[in-house]
Structure 1
Amino acid sequence: MTLGRIVYWCAVALLLLPALALTGVRLLEPDHARAIQLGAFTPFGLPLYAAALVLLLVGVLRGLGRRALVAGGAVLALAGLLLHAAWYAPLVTGTTPAAASDATPVVLMTANLFKGAGDAVELLEEATAADVDVLVVSELTRGAVADMETAGLADAFPYRAGEAGRGTEGTMVFSHAPVEVVETLDTIFDGLLVRTAGLSLLAVHPYPPVDPVAWREDHAQIRELAASGDATVIAGDLNATLDQAPLRALVDDGFRDSAELANAGVEATWPVGGGFPVLSALPPSVGIDHVMVTDQWTVTDTRTVTISGADHRAVLVSIAARADR
């Protein structure tokens, strides 16, 4: 085998092997921390399969290997490409229901402050500038709340629920309108179901998939409460993407993600800084912060917001009652 062919097949392998790993994790859902984490990157299978397919088609035309082998590889790459395209398509081709003509949009923001290292005052300023009605914050420390208080938190958001914590603990809801706590979750990082600003809002922060058992147990609690019918909006750092089983289960239960409703594709929020040497040098690559709504609501706008010092981008969403409801 010539050096050129060796380089060619190495390039094909470097594209196909990780793509196949992504497909396998998405289909098989292994109960291993690294495999679960890999599943968050499922959309990257699309460019990997596409590039591999192009290389293999070139190989067919130029006779860079046994025709049957190269053609078989091309068929495999095409099948993977079509499968990942089917998984990705709803994020850019779904229907976006119209808002009712008399609906008043509710602006909702969710942010993770990275163990309190994120700039809480900047978050408050961003929320104020965007006329946010309800702000959900996770990894919110007492010191961060104190900084927000000094910066005028009570004037911007007179009502609140939940508790600040230490490090990764602490989930709170701040609102323009009175907040009624309906139920609290016994998840590791806390969570709560509240009624405020016309929303029945489940504010959550499940454990990350570094511990698959804790991750699944926290998500099971969230799904159970969400499926009870009391919650119409879920918001927070869900530590999962729409390709992973817990969020696919919520979709099966009738919740739709704000990015999917807006045909925004993957609304990547993580990682931004935060001590991830390779990933942090790149733009955010996975969407693990979400606002999900039932069929009572539609999305009129969605975007992400960078908060200095945080390892997540905040998600800023405008929702409104649907015209057909």
Structure 2
Amino acid sequence: MLLWMCCALIGLWMTLRDIPGRYDARRPLPELIALIPLLWIPTTVVLIVAVSTAAWPQSIVAAALLCAQLLWHSAMYVKLPKALLRIYGLPDHLESPGIATVPPQSSSAAVPDDGAGIEEQRPTLKLMTLNCRFGRADAQSIVQLVRNEGIDVLALQEVTPHLLHSLESCGIRAELPFTVTGEAQADDNGGSNALMLRSKPSASSGSAIDIPAAATPTATLTIGGRQLRFASTHPKSPGRGGLFWHRGIESLGALDSAAGLPKMETVILGDLNSSLYHPVFRTLLRTSAFVDASYQLHSGYHRTFPSSWRYVPPLIEIDHVLITPGLRPVSLSTSAIPGSDHRAVIASIRLL
């Protein structure tokens, strides 16, 4: 009976992944859904116990549950057929660009005529995003990582004036001399958001979209003759209100489609407090132009939270780099920063 109860509980928990997006704002559903990627652990335990006690019906059910979970995980490692992605409720992967994405004026005798060779010559940017945990992240460690990685755009969340001053004292301006900070407002959750850039932006805003959270600053850079918009954002965590959390994630699509924003390639960086297991996040990716860089790379999960537990590695991936189709993710990694409970995400992106 106990094994059947465990199987039923795990099965019901798994179904939360596919509830309609309008319902996942009801707490504690966001928190429960965030833990679904970890259900393989208790499922494996149930399967081992069931097999060892010759409880074959329960073994079959536990094995089926585990297989379903592994299929969900597989989308982070391999490119799955579109039909299967739709069954799983996952967004499509970007198609390989090939030579067709190269503007005609880029062709010349000096450029290789294979798509891969042309793509490698495109401008590449190094980006980093970090939740600074109420401004407690170690400024010297941030500056050192920026310097070591050659970061071009740094997005910070939960920034305080004290942290900004500490970053300046540690020499951040020698690497990233231009800063755009979010407008202070009553909805700031843990602090404000900020962008630090190596190049001077041609345009910027302290509050680009209407979001029930800390203001989302944006900056526009001209790279390779094209304009790119960068945004640092931080939707509220479910603990600050499930509806605020839900609406905050929904609002991010406006960074590509809002009437008041010029149309251009856009990069969203930040602690989005959600993962591909949350229906509202998958809906954002399906209904907007954005794609998750980690999902697109097929290199596995890049777990970022919590990173402050001494003997436990980060468990979930809630910090993201979202890009529009004119960009391509090249690599993505994470790095621990003392004082923060999130790992920094470092991404290389290439213009197509």
TM range (shorter): 0.7 to 0.9
Superposed displacement of residue 112, structure 1: 0.7
Pairs aligned (count): 299
Q: Does the 8 A contact of 1:242 with 1:248 survive in 2?
A: yes
Q: Structure 1 residues 254 and 82, CA, compared in 2 at 3 Å: closer, same or farther?
A: farther
Q: Match for 1:270: what amino acid?
A: F
State which of 170, 193, 204 in structure 2 corresponds to 1:181.
204
Counterpart in the other structure of 2:16: 25
Amino acid at match of 2:204: V
- Asked whether the 8 Å contact 1:176–1:197 carries over to 2, the reply is no
Cα distance in structure 2, aligned partners of 1:227 and 1:93: 30
Q: Which residue of 1 aligns with 2:157?
A: 138
The residue identity in structure 2 corresponding to 1:78 is: A
Aligned mates of 1:227, 1:57 — CA distance in 2: 53
2:107 is the alignment partner of 1:83 = no
Paired AA for residue 192 in structure 1: P
Residue deviations 1:78-116 (CA, integer Å, cap 9, x gap): 332233233222100037846813112100000011001
In structure 1, how many angstroms separate the alpha carbons of the residues matched to 2:4 and 2:336?
36
Shift of residue 241, structure 1, vs aligned partner: 1.0
Q: CA deviation at 1:197?
A: 5.5
Indicate the residue corresponding to 1:205 in structure 2.
Answer: 234
Distance 1:208 1:197, change over 3 A: farther
1:3 is aligned to: none
Counterpart residue type for residue 243 of structure 1: Y
Aligned partner letter, 1:196: L
Note the alpha carbon deviations across 1:225-264, whole angstroms, 9 max, x for none.
3344545211101011121123212321342222222222
Q: Work out whether residues 18 and 279 of structure 2, in 8 Å CA contact, stay in contact via their aligned partners in 1.
A: no
* 1:261 maps to which of 296, 302, 316: 296
1:147 counterpart SS class: helix
Residue type matched to 2:282 in 1? Answer: R
| Corresponding residue for residue 35 of structure 2 | 41
- Cα 1:84–1:197 change in 2 (3 A) is farther
Distance 1:87 1:212 in 2: 25
Letter in 1 for 2:214: F
Spell out, residue by residue over 1:4-51, the C-alpha distance to the aligned partner (whole angstroms, 9 max, x if none): xxxxx64x3685355324303212254322221111122112343344
> Following superposition of structure 1 onto structure 2, how do residues 50-69 of structure 1 map, counting pairs within 5 Å?
50-59=44-53, 62=54, 64=55
Task: Quickly say closer, same or farther: Cα 1:107–1:233, change in 2 above 3 A.
Answer: same
Is the contact between residue 10 and residue 39 of structure 2 (CA under 8 Å) also seen in structure 1?
yes
What is the alpha-carbon distance in structure 2 between the residues aligned to residue 232 and residue 112 of structure 1? 20
Unaligned runs of 5+ in 1: 1-8, 65-69, 274-278
Q: Which of 246, 262, 266 is residue 232 of structure 1 equivalent to?
A: 266
1:105-144 equivalences in 2 (<5 Å)? 105-144=124-163
Matching residue within 182, 187, 191 for 2:216: 191
Structure 2 alignment gaps of length 5 or more: 80-92, 97-115
Letter in 2 for 1:293: I
The TM-score with structure 2 as length reference comes to 0.77
Q: Structure 1-normalised TM-score?
A: 0.83
Partner in structure 2 of residue 4 of structure 1 = none
SS at structure 1 position matched to 2:208: strand
Distance in 1 separating the partners of 2:36 and 2:289:
22
Query: How many percent identity over aligned positions?
Result: 21
Contact 2:195/2:231 (CA < 8 Å) preserved in 1?
A: no
Match of 1:221 among 237, 246, 251: 251
**Counterpart AA for 1:100:** E
Is 1:320 matched up with 2:350? yes
Distance 1:122 1:77, change over 3 A: same
From 167, 174, 179, the counterpart of 1:160:
179
Per mean C-alpha deviation after superposition, the further-off stretch among 205-214 and 185-194 is 185-194
Structure 2 counterpart of 1:308, from 317, 332, 338: 338
Q: What is the RMSD computed on CA atoms of the aligned residues? A: 2.6
Whether contact under 8 Å (2:208, 2:255) holds in the other structure is no
